[in-house]
Structure 1
Amino acid sequence: MRAWLFTGANRPLELIEREIPRPEGDAVLVAVRGSGLCHSDVGRMDGTLTPYMPKPPPIVLGHEIAGEVLRAGPDVRAFAPGDRVVASGTLAFCPGGDADGGYATHCLLPERCLLPLPDGVSFVQGAAATDAGQTSHAALMRAGELQPGQRIGIVGLGGLGMTAARIAVLAGAEVHAAEPRREAWDAASTMGVASVTADVVDLAPLALDLIVDFAGFGTTTAGAIRAVRPGGLVVQVGLGKTEALVPTMDLVGKGVTLRGSGGGTPADTAAVLAHMARGDLSIAASSIGFEEIPQGLQRLAEGGVVGRIVAEI
């Protein structure tokens, strides 16, 4: 098998070859068909998020995986060779966390991480569902406690934010967004977003019940607290910066709740896959080859990527 190995912060990924692992116990060997590239891996590579990794390098990154089961360990009950699957869960026990991930041709995963991939959903969409979908769904429906009829704001219309906007529309919310890149505005409109502005503070007149910040650059966090209605909720997802100055006068004076949300659960991924299977949701994604994974991560680091990047393997 081939894989891109992460050996440490500020070092390029190394292309390696190793023996294909044999699954034991409840492990499942998956032939990776789609591997999504995530900005969190950029943070691991540039040192921003490296100290927060459950397992230090060397490790194969990549936690957005869709593929086919090749072999199953003797304790596996739910999956068999040939099954189409995605890997879901939190980074603490799934790929890219404490085990080698999906920037590889093959991946060894615990059965508890896997979900069936519906026949009508492509490997590219399945890979995107495991993070852009899962994280967005959890931020809205779990941390955000979204209810039909609410007016909500989405900060940042990247892969997660755009997906969240569509999920919120499907959940019956009136959705507004803040995104400085105007090339994303038309796409947001086709998703059902009611309005888009360049700065989150411009959403203040709308008296939004909930604002979810998928950017996380400090100023966006502060802006969300200032823009949400009194007694409203701000959910922080983005980690553009790992620290932020919070306007405590607005937080306290308005009685705003600030809540963090990262990752999600298999139930969140399953809900996203159900939307996809019904044709309600498609995550904007561009495809690259396995050899292009380092260049794809560099594109993410430089910014300007609309939607997700998924390596087809």
Structure 2
Amino acid sequence: MKAWMFHTTHQPFERVEIDEPTAGPGKVVVDVKAAGLCHSDVGILEDEKWLANMTPPVVPGHETAGVISEVGEGVTEWQVGDRVAVWPMIGPFGYNVNGGWEARAEADAEQLVRIPEGVSYEQAAAATDAGMTSSGAVFGTGGAKAGDKVGIIGFGGLGQIGARLAALEGCEVYVAEVKEDVWDAAKEAGAVKVAKSIDEFKDDQLDVIIDFAGFGTTTAAAVETVKFGGKVVQVGMGRLEATINTYALILGKVQLLGSMGGEKSDIERVLKWMATGDLTPQITMIDFEEIADGIKMLEEGKVSGRLVAKVAD
């Protein structure tokens, strides 16, 4: 069957033909319909640090949605024909075990999330990482609740979902985004203010700031902007190192927290809002055979919203 394979850093993904999986005990096989591409997929090609968390050769793709085509021994809560999204934190999916850049993927029954009616496969794929990670950062690590002032740095694939979720759940949202052409979209998502840099909101006393960009300077600005005793949640990995003002960190009693992934409940929250039509993140679609080109698009910053490959009809 068709697949894309990761071998090591500084080598391009390889389009290959591999054997089809079978469902082992406690597992299912998912006929993949849509699989997302992420900036971390760019990262594993460029930075050797990723190899410590991977078992190559491996099929990437940690944003996966499809339909169950085979059920393994002991699986009772799922049936052939169920539409599912895959929680990627087990495995992790696409890093240590084969992910969604293949026609059929084996997944643990414990990592399945049911796709509600009215939610497309491409939306569900985006929910599994961009949605999960955004929700996990805002509500899990960040602890945001209705009435809080929430700063969002970066209105890209994750930031747009994080901002919209925060607004839908009653938070007051402030968006920092350098690309002015998406400012109107940020306001439509519920942002009360939009600016190029988060430090322009210093007087607004933000309770928590989620840095979905992670370019070092954005982290530093967040630490100096959040209110006394506030939280800065680091999600974005645009740069893997940052220089911060420890004076501001210590005297401001700022909590600087890393956030990775999320829970199945985060995917369920995202799918719930997608099903109502209140959460409609921008998605750019490509064909499965264009995944290598899609990686280049991400690397060059030419993608609006989330990038998802159509694997099958």
Aligned residue in 2 for 1:3: 3
Does the 8 Å contact 1:30/1:107 carry over to 2? yes
CA distance in 1, matches of 2:170, 2:307: 28
1:50-88 Cα distance to aligned partner (Å, 9 max, x none):
2342x3321110000000111011121111111100001
Does the 8 Å contact 2:132/2:263 carry over to 1? yes
- State the Cα distance separating 1:201 from its structure 2 match: 1.5
Q: Tell me, what secondary structure is at the counterpart of 1:59?
A: coil
CA distance in 2, matches of 1:170, 1:261: 21
Aligned residue in 2 for 1:71: 70
Does the 8 Å contact 1:184/1:306 carry over to 2? no
CA distance in 1, matches of 2:199, 2:78: 48
- State the Cα distance separating 1:89 from its structure 2 match: 4.3
The question of 1:21 aligning with 2:12 is answered: no
CA distance in 1, matches of 2:114, 2:157: 23
Aligned residue in 2 for 1:157: 155
What is the 5 A alignment of 1:41-120?
41-47=41-47, 49-53=49-53, 55-90=54-89, 92-120=90-118
Q: Tell me, what secondary structure is at the counterpart of 2:25?
A: coil
Aligned residue in 2 for 1:229: 227
Q: Tell me, what secondary structure is at the counterpart of 2:269?
A: helix
1:277-299 Cα distance to aligned partner (Å, 9 max, x none):
12221121011100011111111
Identity over aligned pairs, percent: 42
Does the 8 Å contact 1:89/1:265 carry over to 2? no
TM-score under structure 2 length normalisation = 0.97
Aligned residue in 1 for 2:187: 189
- State the Cα distance separating 1:116 from its structure 2 match: 0.8
Q: 1:290 to 1:89 in 2, by over 3 A?
A: closer
Aligned residue in 2 for 1:241: 239
Does the 8 Å contact 2:26/2:109 carry over to 1? yes
Does the 8 Å contact 1:89/1:266 carry over to 2? no
Does the 8 Å contact 2:137/2:210 carry over to 1? yes
1:209 corresponds to which of 177, 186, 207 = 207
Does the 8 Å contact 1:140/1:146 carry over to 2? yes
Does the 8 Å contact 1:139/1:262 carry over to 2? yes
Aligned residue in 2 for 1:33: 33
The one-letter amino acid paired with 1:77 is: T
Q: 1:235 to 1:203 in 2, by over 3 A?
A: same
1:87-135 Cα distance to aligned partner (Å, 9 max, x none):
0142x52421321011111111111111111121000100000011100
Q: 1:285 to 1:251 in 2, by over 3 A?
A: same
- RMSD of the TM alignment (CA)? 1.2
1:142-171 Cα distance to aligned partner (Å, 9 max, x none):
111112111110001110001000000011
The one-letter amino acid paired with 1:289 is: D
CA distance in 2, matches of 1:65, 1:168: 24
Does the 8 Å contact 1:59/1:99 carry over to 2? yes
CA distance in 2, matches of 1:80, 1:86: 14
2:263 corresponds to which of 245, 251, 265 = 265
CA distance in 1, matches of 2:8, 2:88: 24
Q: 1:102 to 1:49 in 2, by over 3 A?
A: farther
1:241-277 Cα distance to aligned partner (Å, 9 max, x none):
1111121000011111111111001111011111111
CA distance in 2, matches of 1:231, 1:18: 52
CA distance in 2, matches of 1:73, 1:130: 23
Does the 8 Å contact 1:129/1:273 carry over to 2? yes
The one-letter amino acid paired with 1:81 is: V
Where does structure 2 lack aligned partners over 5 or more consecutive residues? Answer: none
The one-letter amino acid paired with 2:33 is: R
Q: 1:48 to 1:204 in 2, by over 3 A?
A: farther
CA distance in 1, matches of 2:303, 2:179: 10
Does the 8 Å contact 1:3/1:17 carry over to 2? yes
Aligned residue in 1 for 2:119: 121
Aligned residue in 1 for 2:129: 131
Aligned residue in 1 for 2:197: 199
Does the 8 Å contact 1:94/1:113 carry over to 2? no
CA distance in 1, matches of 2:213, 2:49: 15
Where does structure 1 lack aligned partners over 5 or more consecutive residues? Answer: none
CA distance in 2, matches of 1:14, 1:96: 14
